[in-house]
Amino acid sequence: MMGFEAWTIFALFWIVFVTTPGPNAVNCIQNGIYLGFGRAMIGVLAILTQATLFLILSAFGITALIAASPAGFFAAKMIGAGFLIYLGVRGWMQARTPVTISAKPAKSIYFQALAIATINPKSVAGYLAAFSQFVQADVPIWEQMIVIVPTALTLTALSYTGFCALGAGLGRAALDAVFSVWLRRILASCFVIYGLLLGLSNAPGRN
């Protein structure tokens, strides 16, 4: 079983990992604005799906193989960068459209959030850091996973639920408000910035 000290260190790392604003957070805020809190939570479900998958893959060491493949990393980051920039440009162009609660299909909400969570190599870097620095080598990995998985998923759910709630609150305030256009353009710009940074980034562990 994972020791209490190791668990504490892992939990603190994970809190920083999931609360630092990134593409997932911006997407949750936007979903909260456009979809309302309840439907925005579909995106959180997608993030939890990705987190579960990456936790399992990390335990098997597969994310290390992905990070070690220059061609695979380059392809992933180019796809991810293009997708994030596309979302940003689309959001900027739609910023003057009046804010309404969208009837966007649940499948569309889920798969967009899953794509954003999965194609960002920042996720690979985060999971590699967690499993290379905070997992105890002298304890069987699956014994530690009994503690790691519920801890990571609980903290992830709490963090992105908070971002959805923030977006829902901003959405209510932004209805017919002057600052609505600028708020939405700032969020759209975040996607473009994340996309550009992603396109210029190195593979985890590389200089």
pLDDT tens for 144-173 read 889 889 999 999 999 999 999 998 887 766
DSSP state of 58: H
Note the pLDDT of residue 158.
97
Q: Which tops the pLDDT comparison, 137 or 119?
A: 119
Note the pLDDT of residue 19.
86
Q: Is the pLDDT of residue 202 over 90?
A: no
Confidence of residue 40 (pLDDT cuts 50, 70, 90): very high
CA distance 52 to 54: 6
DSSP state of 203: P
Q: Is the pLDDT of residue 199 over 90?
A: no
**Average pLDDT of 3-8?**
80
CA distance 207 to 53: 27
Note the pLDDT of residue 7.
85
Across 50-54, 134-138, 142-146, least confident range: 134-138
Length of the chain: 207
Contact assessment for residue 150 and residue 58, using Cβ atoms and an 8 Å cutoff: no
Residue spans of alpha helices (H) in 61-179: 62-67, 70-93, 106-119, 121-133, 141-174
**Average pLDDT of 178-183?**
65
How far from 114 is each of 14, 132, 139, 195, CA to CA, in Å? 19, 25, 32, 16
Non-local CB neighbours of 159 within 8 Å, separated by 6+ positions: 15, 18, 19, 25
**Average pLDDT of 12-25?**
85
Give the global pTM: 0.76
